[in-house]
């Protein structure tokens, strides 16, 4: 006659299984999160490669977030930065992040393409383009001046950048709810973490970024901001120190460099 397990033995086995599960489940979750961060890094790296190919074809000149944005005259059919890259990367999905929220397929009956100013699905666009690249005079140019204003369409050229290995191009961006107008596809250091147009720390406190020289990495989101940047700040106000973060990541090509002198007086084209 076969001996059966006693109740105590069954309880011991169940307890052991429960302990093992409690130990292993967090490990599995961490492994899954690490895999998503690796995929996000790969996506941003491919975006950056496509970006560099585009720049090479256009005499080293960087483009704005959307056609006409420097003037403030973008329209529903304006290409956004991801649309510019499509001849090189052939996939709008690279702007997505596997750790981001589920994307919205449409809004008010309109299907999102990820290529045009309207509509843009903010949940799909989990990668943002550095907003300081709207023009040499940044996003504020299209806000503070009446079009046409010639300086607004003075775009950066790669020859102007002294430290391409530290100049941020793309970063994990905070997702927004869908809307009728294009936005949410750029990222700014002037906004708080996970705020509209701010960087996202969705990768367990880390954000995924790429640099002008082509490399990409993940950094603690908090290292990319300084104390006076975690509130909404007027882009033209004094006190802007967009290149003064502990990670030594440069957001604004026009701001004074921390390697030169710790001034925080806003913009000044070098």
Q: What is the pLDDT of residues 69-117, one digit of tens each?
A: 777 777 888 888 899 999 999 988 888 888 887 667 777 777 777 888 8
Does residue 248 fall inside a structural domain? no
Domain-located, residue 113? yes
pLDDT attached to residue 46 = 94
CA angle 205, 44, 142 (to 5 degrees): 90
pLDDT at 3 over 80: no
Residue 266 lies in a domain: no
Residue span of the structural domain in which 208 resides: 10-229
Q: Based on the structure, what is the number of domains in the chain?
A: 1
Instruction: Please tell me the predicted confidence (pLDDT) of residue 260.
Output: 60
Report, as an integer, the average pLDDT of 2-19. 78
**How many CB atoms within 10 Å of residue 231?**
10
Is residue 263 in a domain? no
Residue 267 lies in a domain: no
Is residue 269 a part of any domain in this protein? Answer: no
Task: In whole angstroms, give the CA distance from residue 257 to residue 254.
Answer: 9
Segment 159-179 shows an average pLDDT of 83
Task: Look at residue 6 in the predicted model and tell me its pLDDT.
Answer: 78
Contacts 24+ apart (CB under 8 A), 62-67: 62/133, 62/155, 62/156, 62/157, 62/158, 63/133, 63/155, 64/133, 64/134, 64/135, 64/155, 65/129, 65/131, 65/133, 65/134, 65/139, 65/185, 65/186, 66/117, 66/182, 67/117
Q: What is the mean pLDDT of residues 187-192?
A: 81
117, part of any domain:
yes
Within-domain flag for 257: no
Per-residue model confidence (pLDDT) at position 172 = 92
pLDDT at site 178? 61
Q: Is pTM, for the whole model, over 0.85?
A: no
Going by pLDDT thresholds of 50, 70 and 90, the confidence category of residue 168 is very high
Mean pLDDT of the chain: 77
């Amino acid at each position: 006659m076969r001996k059966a397990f006693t109740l105590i033995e069954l309880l011991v086995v169940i307890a052991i299984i429960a302990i093992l599960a409690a130990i292993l489940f967090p490990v599995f979750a961490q492994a899954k999160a690490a895999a998503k961060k690796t995929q996000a890094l790969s996506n941003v790296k491919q975006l950056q490669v496509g970006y560099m190919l585009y720049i090479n074809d256009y005499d080293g000149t960087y483009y704005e977030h959307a056609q006409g944005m420097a003037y403030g005259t973008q329209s529903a059919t304006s290409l956004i930065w991801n649309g510019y890259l499509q001849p090189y990367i052939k996939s709008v999905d690279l702007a997505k992040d596997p750790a981001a929220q589920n994307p919205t397929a449409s809004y008010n009956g309109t299907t999102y393409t990820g290529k045009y100013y309207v509509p843009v699905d903010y949940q799909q666009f989990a990668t943002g383009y550095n907003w300081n690249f709207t023009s040499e005079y940044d996003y504020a140019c299209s806000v503070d001046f009446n079009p046409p204003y010639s300086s607004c369409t003075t775009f950066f050229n790669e020859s102007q950048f002294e430290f391409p290995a530290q100049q941020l191009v793309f970063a994990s961006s905070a997702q927004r709810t869908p809307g009728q107008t294009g936005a949410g596809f750029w990222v700014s250091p002037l906004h708080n973490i996970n705020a509209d147009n701010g960087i996202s720390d969705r990768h367990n406190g880390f954000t995924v970024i790429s640099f002008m020289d082509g490399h990409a990495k993940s950094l603690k989101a908090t290292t990319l901001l300084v104390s006076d940047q975690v509130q909404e700040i007027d882009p033209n106000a004094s006190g802007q120190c967009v290149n003064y973060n502990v990670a030594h990541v440069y957001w604004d090509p026009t701001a004074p460099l921390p390697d030169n002198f710790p001034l925080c007086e806003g913009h000044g084209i070098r």
